[in-house]
Amino acid sequence: MNKLSDLRKSYELAELDESGAAGEPLLQFRQWLDEALKAEVPEPNAMTVATVGEDGRPSTRIVLIKGLDERGIVWFTNYESRKGQELAVHPFAALQFHWVELERVVRIEGRVEKVSAEESDAYFHSRPLDSRLGAWASPQSQVISSRAVLVANAAKAAAQHGLKPERPPHWGGYRLVPERWEFWQGRRSRLHDRIRYRLEGGAWVRERLAP
């Protein structure tokens, strides 16, 4: 077995420079996301969400991006989960996409707000029935005695709500409103490309960071 300290990889697939990067971070992100989709990388919509608790300690988890426009990046979850509780206290988060096959990382930081009830309703009703019932069945992040609790809760939810369950009041969407973006492209000799966009006076400032 190789030692972890001996693992090496040379990044040589692409480059990212100031002249080639889009003037707006949203445009750059859409381009990279489209390329990840076309490359059929595993779960290109998966992103890490980092939040901070009352004790100042960070926590992370993987969620799926479900919306993207000029307002920000949207995902859906249980508002009573650990991340929901942490966002209620500290409404800021960091997101990260890692497309290993393309040797790319995107990091996004900003404040977080709940999406409108109408947006949450629309997405909830677009989900498969099992997923809608699962939103009722799972007390996310709470301790349960066994998987049997989830199975029993799902059966109860099916009996109670039938084929057209309404959205639970504790479930809905969040939108991260970006204040900083960073695009990382792996390069040879660990001289990676890092292009950051930050808001200054209502406009995006684009700059290169040392790797």
C-alpha closest to that of 76 among 94, 49, 52, 97: 49
Was 77 annotated as part of a binding site?
A: yes
Is 109 inside any structural domain? yes
118-154 in b/e form (b: 16+ CB < 10 A) is: ebbeebbeeeeeeebbbbbbbebeeeeeeeeeeeebb
| Paired strand residues for 62 | 48
Torsion on CA atoms 12, 14, 19, 25, rounded to nearest 10: -120
150 is in an annotated binding site: no
* Residue 5 lies inside a defined structural domain of this protein: no
Q: Does residue 149 sit within a domain?
A: no
Q: Which domain holds residue 82?
A: 11-127+169-208
How far is Cα 197 from Cα 206, in angstroms, rounded to an integer? 5
Q: Is residue 132 part of a domain?
A: no
CATH of the domain at 77: 2.30.110.10
Determine, yes or no, domain membership for 107.
yes
144 is in an annotated binding site: no
Domain count, the chain: 1
- 8 known ligand binder: no
pLDDT per residue, tens digit, the chain (211 aa), is: 678 777 778 887 889 988 889 999 999 999 999 999 999 999 999 999 999 999 999 999 999 999 999 999 999 999 999 999 999 999 999 999 999 999 999 999 999 999 999 999 999 999 999 999 999 999 898 888 999 999 998 899 999 999 999 999 999 999 999 999 999 999 999 899 999 999 999 999 999 999 9
Does residue 146 lie within any of the structural domains?
Answer: no
pLDDT tens readout for residues 11-33: 878 899 888 899 999 999 999 99
Catalytic residue (choose from 190, 196, 198, 208): 190
Rounded to whole angstroms, the Cα distance separating 85 from 81 reads 6
Structural domain includes residue 42: yes
Catalytic residue at 190? Answer: yes
DSSP 54: T
Rounded Cα distance between 123 and 133, Å, is 14
Considering the domain boundaries, does residue 17 fall inside one? yes
**Is 140 annotated for ligand binding?**
yes
CB 47 within 8 A of CB 97: yes
